[in-house]
Structure 1
Amino acid sequence: MLGKLKEKLRSFIKKVEENVEKEEKEAEKKGLLDKVLMVEIKEKDVEKALEDLELELLEADVALEVVDALKERIKKNLVGKKVKIGTNKEKIIEEAVRDAVLEILRPPRKIDLIEEIKKAEKPYVILFVGFNGSGKTTTIAKLAHWLKKNGFSVVIAASDTFRAGAIEQIEEHAKRIGVKVIKHKYGADPAAVAYDAIQHAKARGIDVVLIDTAGRSETNRNLMDEMKKIARVTKPNLVIFVGDALAGNAIIEQAREFNEAVKIDGVILTKLDADARGGSALSVTYATNAPILFVGIGQGYDDLIPFDERWFVERILGESNA
């Protein structure tokens, strides 16, 4: 998992380390070496390695604007830094790269979903949006399962009345995890389905309403307008964009499309277990300025885990091959 991105970042760290070691050798030649001598990391030590890193990050599906932002942060963290000769330079350079990646992954708002639900007026309404094939319906079932395990009651609104088989799919998932689905017929108004689910939750004291919607694409304006209508009618507490980690650079445009239509509050990234490149997480966070809340790491209902940016960074910078 995430092997491509990990490989590229570790290659960059090695190149900068080699450049700084050359500076040390030059100091030795000039007879300047002593126990307290500090070598300053110069722009030239970093610049060439950053040029190589840019191409390598693009190969790892990190969007160009994210690459630029990451390069600037790495340069700011490294250039001018004084390194004592004989210290572990790899560790110092790695820490600068780690901090730069964490800056990208940490948007202004941090969401603790359990606490948000506890303090909000019931029901807490979550609207799910995403492109076709992103795994949205399955993700909703996984989140419903996670919420139940954390002590919340859940109802699902089958507001995808457009795609053939969508209602049966969400009903089958709901049956397996033991939650109720509110549905109408195919072709019905999706906003009306969502409204009825909220009224059902209010009448029965249910904690959370999860609203499934039809997979949207930028070429289908009617479906995008429908999604805006659902948001107007339901006034959700949270809008979650479900993105496919395998979508590569396309995910940044997908996220922007939805962010313009209905403001995205959080992201769930699916298929991270199958993503050998790893750039999507950086790209989608940067594009939406919204936190990644969960990641999908398998097919089972328990294979949706809360996202931890330090866990992610460890996977792309740590020694582990996980």
Structure 2
Amino acid sequence: MKKKEIKPKKVETQEKTKKTETEDKKEEEVPEPKEEVIEEPEVKEEEVVAPEPVKSFFAKTKEIFTTKKITAEKFDDLFWQLELVLLEHNVAVGVIERIKDDLKEELVDKPLPLSVSKKVESTLKKTVLDVLTVDSLNIIDEIKKKDEPYVIACFGINGSGKTTTVAKLAHLLKRNGLTSVMAASDTFRAAAIQQLEEHGKNLDIRVIKHDYGADAAAVAYDAISHAKKHDIDVVLIDTAGRLHSNVNLMDELQKLCRVTSPDLNLFLGEAITGNDCIEQAQKFDEHVGIHGIIMTKADIDEKGGTPLSISYITKKPIFFLGVGQGYEDLEVFDKNKIIEKLAI
């Protein structure tokens, strides 16, 4: 009798299959790891707060002088505040002393009007106008009076704008019906000679030049000779920038003046340099004898004290203000505009 073959049960296989299916399902169910998103803290833009407007020169004085009666002691206590305001506006100490004396005379131990601030204002205006009142001359009229070429020499430190200002003067003369020639006596900078030549082409005005490093006085002399020969009204001499503290270089300018005998020596200084500009003008006056002043970069001078101070300290008139880079940007000096800038 044959034994029946007992087939092995497929339970284990089925169980394994079930386990595999379960594991597969679990694998399917396992969520993919999410990228961790790090949220950066929100950066708030800082609000740009506009700076408070600077109070005008006189607005500050109104805050200082509010009392109806001022004794000498009270005046001294109050004036130091006004002095700070004046110094902030590049007003020289000598001018401040003058203002102090005038205010003291008008205000101390005297019956004052109802509005002390108006009294202060009128006194300040009068003092500033007096300070700016220096004997001057009309350059155009002076040129027309002279039969021979009128010689104008321009002096100043490096970067004060001499070459550009010489071109502006040439343009001004041309507008007034006067002829001119420009002397490239800044022989220490090749670029200065090229710059003046470029201005000459633009303005259709002759430029007399020598080679780089040549004798500056010789260039100026040749320009004067050219002017005499061709009946030209004015010779404009552009000189090299000099540090006012360098005695040897300043002596070279004296030689130029001896050779050419200028009718008008002009000091050119930057209005934005404050008391440095005054010191420069004094040194140039000692060496070459300046007759007048041109303030350059006056268009970016927000304080207004330098023209006021330089004229008072040097006792020289300011003829023009440079107010830009264009040939037209040379204004005849107007002291009322200085008062406006000081907001008096």
Counterpart-to-counterpart distance in 2, 1:76 and 1:185: 60
- For the pair 1:7 / 2:7, whether they are aligned, the reply is no
Match of 1:192 in 2: 218
Match of 1:100 in 2: 127
Match of 1:43 in 2: 72
Stretch moving more, 179-188 or 112-121: 112-121
Q: Describe the shift of the 1:208–1:50 C-alpha distance in structure 2 as closer, same or farther (beyond 3 A).
A: same
Stretch moving more, 57-66 or 94-103: 57-66
The alignment partner of 1:241 has SS state of strand
Aligned match of 2:204 in 178, 191, 212?
178
Q: Which residue identity lines up with residue 313 of structure 2 in the other structure?
A: A
* 1:10 shift after superposition: 3.2
* 1:44 shift after superposition: 4.7
Match of 1:133 in 2: 159
* 1:156 shift after superposition: 0.6
Match of 1:120 in 2: 146
Counterpart-to-counterpart distance in 2, 1:261 and 1:113: 23
Match of 2:330 in 1: 304
Q: Describe the shift of the 1:44–1:235 C-alpha distance in structure 2 as closer, same or farther (beyond 3 A).
A: same
Q: Which residue identity lines up with residue 47 of structure 1 in the other structure?
A: D
* 1:140 shift after superposition: 1.0
Counterpart-to-counterpart distance in 1, 2:301 and 2:113: 38
Between structure 1 and structure 2, the one with the greater Rg is: 2
- For the pair 1:150 / 2:176, whether they are aligned, the reply is yes
Q: Describe the shift of the 1:42–1:121 C-alpha distance in structure 2 as closer, same or farther (beyond 3 A).
A: farther
Q: Describe the shift of the 1:82–1:267 C-alpha distance in structure 2 as closer, same or farther (beyond 3 A).
A: same
Counterpart-to-counterpart distance in 2, 1:151 and 1:197: 20
Q: In percent, how many aligned pairs have the same letter?
A: 49
Match of 2:97 in 1: 68
Stretch moving more, 7-16 or 231-240: 7-16
Counterpart-to-counterpart distance in 2, 1:113 and 1:10: 37
* 1:212 shift after superposition: 0.5
Counterpart-to-counterpart distance in 2, 1:208 and 1:74: 45
Q: Describe the shift of the 1:283–1:189 C-alpha distance in structure 2 as closer, same or farther (beyond 3 A).
A: same
* 1:121 shift after superposition: 3.1
Deviations, residues 215-238 of structure 1 (Å, cap 9, x unaligned): 010343332111101111111111
Counterpart-to-counterpart distance in 2, 1:117 and 1:78: 46
Q: Describe the shift of the 1:66–1:173 C-alpha distance in structure 2 as closer, same or farther (beyond 3 A).
A: same
Q: Which residue identity lines up with residue 241 of structure 2 in the other structure?
A: G
* 1:163 shift after superposition: 1.8
Match of 1:221 in 2: 247
| Structure-to-structure mapping, 1:78-89, within 5 angstroms | 78-79=107-108, 82-85=111-114, 88-89=115-116
Q: Which residue identity lines up with residue 79 of structure 2 in the other structure?
A: L
Contact 1:12–1:49, Cα closer than 8 Å, also in 2: no
Q: Describe the shift of the 1:177–1:42 C-alpha distance in structure 2 as closer, same or farther (beyond 3 A).
A: farther
Name stretches of at least 5 consecutive residues in structure 1 with no aligned partner. Answer: 24-40
The alignment partner of 1:96 has SS state of helix
The alignment partner of 2:237 has SS state of strand
Aligned match of 2:233 in 207, 210, 235?
207
Flag the structure with more relative contact order, 1 or 2, with Cα contacts below 8 A and sequence separation at least 6: 1
Counterpart-to-counterpart distance in 2, 1:279 and 1:144: 28
Q: Which residue identity lines up with residue 282 of structure 1 in the other structure?
A: L
The alignment partner of 2:268 has SS state of strand
- For the pair 1:19 / 2:67, whether they are aligned, the reply is yes
Q: How many pairs are equivalent?
A: 292
Contact 1:70–1:104, Cα closer than 8 Å, also in 2: no
Deviations, residues 264-284 of structure 1 (Å, cap 9, x unaligned): 110000111111222211221
Contact 1:153–1:207, Cα closer than 8 Å, also in 2: yes
Counterpart-to-counterpart distance in 2, 1:306 and 1:159: 25
Counterpart-to-counterpart distance in 2, 1:196 and 1:227: 16
- For the pair 1:57 / 2:83, whether they are aligned, the reply is no
Deviations, residues 147-178 of structure 1 (Å, cap 9, x unaligned): 11111111111101012311001111121122
Contact 1:255–1:288, Cα closer than 8 Å, also in 2: yes
* 1:300 shift after superposition: 1.2
TM-score (norm: length of structure 1): 0.85
Name stretches of at least 5 consecutive residues in structure 2 with no aligned partner. Answer: 1-52
Match of 2:302 in 1: 276
Q: Describe the shift of the 1:262–1:19 C-alpha distance in structure 2 as closer, same or farther (beyond 3 A).
A: same
- For the pair 1:159 / 2:188, whether they are aligned, the reply is no
RMSD of the TM alignment (CA)? 2.0
Stretch moving more, 130-139 or 306-315: 306-315
